[in-house]
Structure 1
Amino acid sequence: MKLFKMMLVAGVSVAVLSGCGANNNNATNSAATTAPTTEQTDAVTTASIVNQADAFTKAVSKDGNWIIAILNDVTIAQDVVVEGEFHDKGAADGDIYRKIALYAQDADHKVTANYTLTVPKLTVQSENLRVQGGTIKGDVYVEANGFNLHETSTIDGNLYFANEDVKATAGIEGKVTGATEVK
């Protein structure tokens, strides 16, 4: 049974991350589909696949990963800060980019599940953070340029921007149930 669960998690992990980028660079994609290990990993080139609050908090830290994918609903009791500079597909010369994936997908990139991240306050300090799929239940405070709420995502709470300049760089295609304003 334990082996089955490990294989299931590995399979879901590969499915979630196989469509997270549009670039088909095989070296990068193979790094992105590798599940995290207990060894020290290169935070610039690996993805973080999490299913617990402490793992999520660590993954979104400045020492975390460029993409964070959750495997189920996650509830975090304390405020969380998404910080650090990361590059698309892990390439140091790639565009600055970070992603929180709140969904699972199959090998054909069809979304098979959406998840909810429940957090009192999520503060975004990483530039060009994209939230895709699922729901963030709680307030989101954006302090960095380029925030993107994908059309398949929902913020079940308020969305606040640090100033008008930060708000002007955001792409809000998804749904926000509360206020969207500068605060």
Structure 2
Amino acid sequence: MKIKSLILSITSALILTLAVTTGCTSNNTSPTPTPSPTATPSPTETPDTTTTASIVDTNEAFEKAISSSGTWIICTLKDLTFEKELVLDGEFKNGKKDAAGKDVIQRKIALYTQDDAHNVTARFNLTAPKLTINSPEARIQSGTFKGDLYVSAKNFQLVDAKVDGNVYFTTEEAQSTFKMDDKSSVTGKRELKK
């Protein structure tokens, strides 16, 4: 029994280390964000939120990570199931700069683990009756959300992900800026619902 506990502890530590060092991303078509320490703003700018990754394996940790005081990237280590509605809130910087030198805004729910070569090694399910996306430039990547998704923010993406439910857009801007790659799918409706 002690050996099994030791193996589980070592495995968990390795997964956590791997996820943090690789940033939980495997999408080669967009900038590869990696977690960075909290940026120190210059005296003339108002700080938004720039954070490191949050590696979660409990409902409580997931809820904290998706809040407006959470992290820009939320990496799950197992299936998570909620009986209540969830909300992805807040605007976050990922620690990168764009071509113009401006901070890159991004939010990601990473429902997977990966190896050192960025190959997905496990995919997870996130189940909730409803998930509302209020964070701009957000995505769900490489796993399955089971429930109805309400998108209120611009530029939401599904990347190598599945929504087992409906996707409702609460604004025309949210609907017109939505993107989904060819590896992603939605089993239900995709429609504007104000």
The reply on whether 1:181 has 2:191 as its aligned counterpart is yes
2:83 maps to which residue?
77
User: Is 2:154–2:177's contact at 8 Å kept on the other side of the alignment?
Assistant: yes
Q: How many corresponding residue pairs?
A: 169
Cα distance 1:62–1:136, how it changes in 2: closer, same or farther (>3 A)?
Answer: same
Residue 84 of structure 1: how far off its partner (Å): 0.4
Secondary structure, counterpart of 1:178 in structure 2: coil
d(CA) in 2 for partners of 1:181 and 1:170?
Answer: 11
TM-score by length of 2: 0.79
Aligned to 2:16: 13
Identity %: 42
Stretches of structure 2 lacking an aligned partner (at least 5 in a row) = 39-48
Code of the aligned partner of 1:94? D
Matching residue of 1:159: 167
Distance of 1:23 and 1:49 partners within structure 2: 18
Deviations 1:125-150 (A, max 9, x none): 00010110010000000001010011
Q: Which moved more, 1:169-178 or 1:116-125?
A: 169-178
Q: 1:113 and 1:63 mapped to 2: Cα distance?
A: 27
Residue among 117, 120, 123 paired with 2:132: 123
C-alpha distance in structure 2 between counterparts of 1:121 and 1:50, whole Å: 19
Q: Is 1:112 matched with 2:121?
A: yes
Q: Please tell me the residue identity of whatever aligns with 1:14.
A: T
1:146 aligns with 155
One-letter amino acid matched to 1:5: L
Contact 1:45–1:90 under 8 Å retained in 2? no
Q: Secondary structure, in 3 states, of the residue corresponding to 2:122?
A: strand
Equivalents in 1 of 2:65, 2:140: separation in Å? 14
CA distance in 2 between partners of 1:31 and 1:74 (Å): 27
Residue 56 of structure 2 corresponds to residue 53 of structure 1: no
Deviation for aligned residue 1:16: 3.0
The CA RMSD over aligned residues, in Å, is 2.3
Aligned to 2:110: 101
Q: Distance in 2 between matches of 1:104 and 1:182?
A: 32
Decide which structure has the larger Cα Rg and report it.
2
1:41-66 CA distances to partner (integer Å, 9 max, x unpaired)?
A: xx622111111111111100000000
Consecutive unaligned residues in structure 1, runs of 5 or more: 33-42
Scaled by the length of structure 1, the TM-score of the pair is: 0.83
State the distance in 2 between where 1:77 and 1:90 align.
35
Which structure is higher in strand share? 2
- Whole-Å Cα distance in 2 between the matches of residues 46 and 56 of structure 1? 14
Q: Which residue of 2 aligns with 1:36?
A: none
* Partners of 2:66 and 2:7 in 1: CA distance: 28
Could you tell me whether the CA contact under 8 Å between 1:44 and 1:86 is conserved in 2? Answer: yes
Displaced runs of 4+ in structure 1, greater than 4 A? 21-24, 28-32
